[in-house]
Structure 1
Amino acid sequence: MQLKANNIGFRYDRGPWLFRGVNLSIGPGEVVGVTGPSGRGKTTLCRILASYESPLEGEVTFNGAPLTKKGYHPVQMVLQHPEKAVNSRWKMHRILNEGYQPDEALLELLGIQQEWLTRWPHELSGGELQRFCVARALGPNTRFLIADEMTTMLDAITQAQIWQAVTEIAKKREMGIVVVSHEAKLMQRLCHRVIEF
């Protein structure tokens, strides 16, 4: 099982190329870091890997075949700003159950308290909300997780708790992870290899 970006390129409208000729492969259980200066297209690369965007050149494949958007997607993405990833008009239990129904063991591992389920997104802190976004992304059919600055906006304790839970689940399931971050210590601790983008 492998997620591969094959010679992909992207630009907005007719502007300059954001990137071209990018090749990247992530295997089961592998944690790959992507780092580099702002504005180089790291988030766009993540969006392409998760099928939010389509490359203008090349393709992304899963197990050797082009990714399809039908059904539960095997590649899930967690954004830097959780408030942008949830419907503010839904309560948290509905947001959480949008793709699948997580078991209580996962919620407990991520530190999600039962009383949060009946709250609105604006009633939660950024760290609490991000825990829900992570839980929602870790469905039973998720094979690769794209973490785009997933814990950058959170305090150190919350960062450590979330990453401990995610890496524990990834190891158990042999789930691949792409970690986008500017934090060198985090990359050294988590990643098997780091790519400068």
Structure 2
Amino acid sequence: MFELDRITAGYERRKPVVREVSLRLAPGESVGLLGPSGCGKSTLARVAALLHRPDTGRVTVDGETVRGWRHRAPRSQRTAIGVVFQQPRLAADPRLTLRDLIAEPLRATGRRAEAAERTAPLAETVGLTPELLRRRPHEVSDGQLQRACLARALVLEPRWLVCDEMTAMLDASTTAALVAAVEEYRRTTGAGLLAVGHDRVLLERWCDRTADWAELTAA
């Protein structure tokens, strides 16, 4: 189980942008978090990805309460969660080729030897050719770079995925391809998914259920 319990979160010297929000995700379940731009749902997504410490509240991953955030989180919890952000160019090191970008989490966790074995099939799954893998971020489109970022999120075989507006900047065909890649991964692994967005039609077609931000924060 993945639980966000009464989360309040914000940024230094500002009022909280998330207040007393709770959300629960079961293994294998896909939940859409629907809300307008600027409402705070991306902050909640960063809390869920263990990238932002909440002011109050509790995050539980696979039955264990999270005690640390970012690099202070236990490796077992960090690697249990894969995350894809809205803007791939802000999330990608411009010095790396797409092949090295995908393999980045393997190097960071001491699994460099698995890079060749893991990178090629993942690249194929998300629709990247061997030629594209040799390019750097400035040499590919936003859609191609987001495909690489999705592959990077999957390379450690996480049990939970957080997709924060993953398709907001993409065309319809790339959106369909990335959603299909996520669903194929979930079908084969049983991973749970939190998909954050403002497109009700997409989330309701993609997810088992959709949580409306307005309803989560009404109380």
- TM-score bracket, normalised by the shorter chain, equals over 0.9
Q: Quote the residue 1:153 is aligned against.
A: 169
Q: Which moved more, 1:143-152 or 1:72-81?
A: 72-81
User: SS in structure 2 opposite 1:97?
Assistant: helix
Deviation of 1:42 (Å): 0.5
Distance 2:100 2:203 in 1: 33
Do residues 99 (structure 1) and 115 (structure 2) align?
Answer: no
Distance 1:65 1:146 in 2: 18
Structure 1 unaligned residues grouped into runs of 5+: none
Deviation of 1:103 (Å): 4.5
Residue by residue over 1:32-55, the C-alpha shift from the partner in whole angstroms, topping out at 9 and shown as x without a partner, is 011112221110000000011001
Q: Quote the residue 2:216 is aligned against.
A: none
Deviation of 1:140 (Å): 4.0
Distance 2:191 2:156 in 1: 10
User: SS in structure 2 opposite 1:165?
Assistant: helix
Answer whether contact 2:79 2:156 (CA < 8 A) is retained: no
- Matching residue's letter, 2:210: V
Q: Quote the residue 2:74 is aligned against.
A: 70
Answer whether contact 2:119 2:155 (CA < 8 A) is retained: no
Distance 2:157 2:139 in 1: 30
Q: CA RMSD in A?
A: 1.4
TM-score, L = length of structure 2: 0.85
Map 1:6-85 to 2 at 5 A: 6-67=5-66, 69-71=73-75, 73-85=79-91
Deviation of 1:16 (Å): 2.2
User: SS in structure 1 opposite 2:131?
Assistant: helix
Deviation of 1:5 (Å): 0.6
Answer whether contact 2:160 2:191 (CA < 8 A) is retained: yes
Q: Quote the residue 1:184 is aligned against.
A: 200
Q: Quote the residue 2:129 is aligned against.
A: 113
Give the 4+ runs in structure 1 shifted more than 4 A.
none
TM-score, L = length of structure 1: 0.93
- Matching residue's letter, 1:166: V
Distance 1:133 1:147 in 2: 11
Map 1:155-170 to 2 at 5 A: 155-170=171-186
- Matching residue's letter, 1:184: R
Q: Which moved more, 1:31-40 or 1:120-129?
A: 31-40
| Identical amino acids, percent of aligned pairs | 37
Residue by residue over 1:57-80, the C-alpha shift from the partner in whole angstroms, topping out at 9 and shown as x without a partner, is 012111221235233521121011
1 or 2, which has the higher helix percentage?
Answer: 2
Distance 1:52 1:170 in 2: 23
